[in-house]
Each structure stands twice: as structure tokens, then as C-alpha cells.
Amino acid sequence: MSNDAGLAVNIVQLAEHARQRAWERGAPVLWSEARRVDGFCDPFRAYAGLDGVGRRVLWVDPQEDLAFVGVGVAMEAGFEGWTRFADASAWWRDEAMWSVGSRGGPRDLQLPMAASGFRFDPERSSGAEWQGFPDGAVVVPSRLVITRDRESWAVGTLLVHADDELDGLSGRMEDLLAQTAAMADVSNEAPTDVPSLISREETPDMSTWKREVVSAADRIRRHEVDKVVLARREERTFAGPLPLGTLLQRMQQANQQAAVFAIEVGEQTFIGASPETLVALRNGALQTVPLAGSAPRGATSGEDERLARALLRSRKDLHEHEVVVGAMLQALDLVAEASPDPDTPIVVQHRTVQHLATPIRGTVRENVTALDVVGRLHPTPAVGGYPTEDALDVIRKVEPFDRGWYAGPVGWVDAGGDGKFVIGIRSGLVRGSTAYLYAGCGIVGDSDPDAEYRETQMKIDAIGSSMEAR
């Protein structure tokens, strides 16, 4: 028997297994198959090549040496309100338990896999630009190319019903795998140029935002709240549609340690290059790396070092960081046993900014998924403030726009409940020729409005630089 014939027999057997699972469940089940593909898939070129084909997702994470690009929807679910994380975790545990997954995929990943994103604050009314985005979403792409360790796999996922015809089902999977493998062989032309910038408008304007910082600092000095994170939005309009593949590739080149992501919802795409891991979970081992306290990068290595030393001595930044770490350890207590690394905080550096960081590691309790941990940690004091409810109340009253998924969790989860989520910062929402860019900073009692404005502009420019015509 040829190898191809053996694969065909195996597909038929797995199709029958999936049908049996659907019959036992009394409802459709997910069936995923994976095959190695020759060569290395460039996720950015593959993403660009899928423009207009269907709903796309992208994830490129150099720290985990993991990238994937997906298109189409095998299954998805949306979740609303403050229970969105618990509801998403319960839904995914059930779907994963009944699913049929290939064992031939990348190491440490259990198929099927899903991309996921969540709104920062479900109580905030949705802005016009965020229409269509639910409070939380879990999406299983029908076609997914996963790259790890410089090797790529084509993953096809079908929704199987108990009464599906067997030959048709196995044939659909064969076709799906062939179409998915073709995604990895994209060799389209060089990245498209970015159209010229026509206009930019910030919300709120600079003077208003500085007044808001002063007001928030006054509240903190009156002990109404310990810390609050205020954000700004910059709307940029361009001469033509923005080429997302080009933007994402530029973002990765400029932020080589960040996780680059893209999730399409309707005609809009939420993109970003986040430096901040909210949770990474693998085989029960948890890691989170809160960042709080920021300084610019220096023009020379000597200036860089001086700014880093000043950051480690800054009373304002150290206090802000201490609040974040303490709140995250307290939040993790119900789902994990965790502790901070010794000799922290440390300084981590990105292209335009450096942060105080404290890695926290631990072990999750039984049946805890990455989505459960996300639900315990969000919103961290680094993006909301502390105490949480008091800080959110200030944000709702002060910020004149909807954050949407900005500063919310974005990431992925596999069938075993493992996954990784980052905080959706250094991010923007793109629709056609318009981009909304977001940035915030932590306000404490001695915050300087001018310095905080410069910090937010520095963060906006970190993503905005990918949109410059060259």
C-alpha cells in the first residue's frame, strides 16, 4: 500500500470516529487534522495572500517560537458581560472534550486551536468603530498554518455532524488540507507600500487630556483610588486602504520580542505588537510578566543605561510597578500557586521604550485553562488601575471614547486548555483607509501631565511608525 493510500484510509477512519463522537454527544463536534508541509511558511506573506478570502487571524510570537495564520471559521462563539471569561472557558472545555484532534501537529500543541480576544470593559457602551466586536470571542479557523521550530504544518478543521456522509466528509478534509497547505506556499510580491497620511486627530486633545491627568492625580492624593490608567486615541486617515500584511511585518521588525497579532471582525481588524504577556500556560506551568513603569530608550548605549538606572530608582515608577505585581499575585491565588522571580524588578527594552518587569511563575490548579487565568488577571492595574472598580469608574467618567479590545486580552488556546494571551496594547483598529491607535499610562499622585503625554505619544508612535510611507 502506498503512503498516500495509507493516509486516505486513515482519513476515512478518523472521519468515522468524528461522526461517532457527534452521535454520542448529540451535537456537532470539531475534527482537526494536521500534515507537515515542505519549507517554511512566512506568516505575513501568507496573511497578505489571503486578503478577501475569508476572516483572517494571525499570531507571531518569537518568545515561544510559534506563529500561525488562519482563515475561515469552523466554529466560533461570542460572550458578553463580566462572566465572559468563565463562559468562554466552560464552552471551550466542552468543545475540546468532544473534539477529535490529530496527533501529528507541532510539539506541545493539542488540536484544535482557537484564537481569542476580549473587550477591555464590557460595561462601556460600544463606540461606532467597534461595532461587531463582542465582549469576548473564541474562533476556530477552518484553515490554519502553524509554524514552530522553522517547520510548518497545515491544519484543517471541520464541524462534523452525526449524519454526515462518510466519503463526503473524508473528501472535504482532504480538500481542506490541500487548500491549507497551499497557504504555506505563498510567494507573492514584495510588501505593498503604505499610502500617504492625510490627517490625524487625537481624542481627547492634548490640553484636555492633561487636565484629566491633573484631576486623576488629585483623586489619588485624596486616597479615592491608588492608581488609574488613562488612555488616548489617535485617528489617522490615509490616501488609500492600509496593507495589513505590510503593517504587521513592519511591526514585528520594529518590536522583535513582542507578540504580533491580528483578528478580523467584519471589515475591521484589531492589530498590535504587544510586549506584555498576560499569561502563558503549558502543561500546568504558568508564567505572567507584568510591565509597569516606563522610560524612553536612549540615543546611545550610555544614555540607554542611564535611563534604565533612573527607572529602577524612580519612586513613582517603582510604586506603580509594586501595585501591579501585588494585585496580580492576589488575583492568581484562586487558580494557581505562584510567586515572583527573585531579584526583580528588571528592565526590559523595546525599540522605543523600556519597562520595569517582574516575571511571575507558578502551577495552575486542576482543570484550569488559560481562559480561566485570563479572567482572574484582567484588567491588571497596568492597564486599568487599582483598586480595580474604583479605577474603572474613573476611566468611564473621564475617557471620551470606547477602548473596545484595546488593553483587553488577545491570544490563543488549544484543546488541552494551554495557551498564551498578551495584553492588547501597542495596538490599533484598522478599517480600510482609517486607523485608530491607542496608548495609555499609569497615573499616580505625583504624575506630571507633560511627561505622561510624552509617554503616551511614544507608545502611539511605536505602532504608528509601521504606517509611515517609505
Distance CA 79, CA 205 (A): 33
Catalytic residue flag (residue 165): no
Residue 207 to residue 212: CA distance in whole angstroms = 9
The yes-or-no answer on residue 227 being catalytic is: yes
Catalytic residue of the set 95, 227, 234, 420: 227
DSSP state of 158: E
Asked if residue 111 lies in contact with residue 415, where contact means CB atoms within 8 angstroms, the answer is: yes
Q: 294-299 — which CB contacts under 8 Å span 24+ positions?
A: 294/353, 294/354, 294/355, 294/356, 294/441, 294/455, 294/458, 294/459, 295/353, 295/354, 295/355, 296/352, 296/353, 296/354, 296/458, 297/349, 297/350, 297/351, 297/352, 297/353, 297/354
Task: Name the phi and psi angles at 72, rounded to 5.
Answer: 80, 170
- Within 8 A by CB and 6+ apart from 372, the residues are 85, 86, 89, 335, 364
CB atoms within 10 A of CB 160: 26
**Which one is catalytic: 264, 276, 399, 452?**
276
- How many whole angstroms separate alpha carbon 173 and alpha carbon 152? 18
Q: Which amino acid is at 137?
A: A
CB atoms within 10 A of CB 443: 27
Closest CA to 413 of 164, 99, 179: 99
> Given strand 346-349, what is the order of strands in its sheet?
291-296, 353-357, 346-349
Beta strand 100-101 with 29-37 is: parallel
Cα–Cα dist 92/79, whole Å = 12
Q: Which residues are catalytic?
A: 227, 276
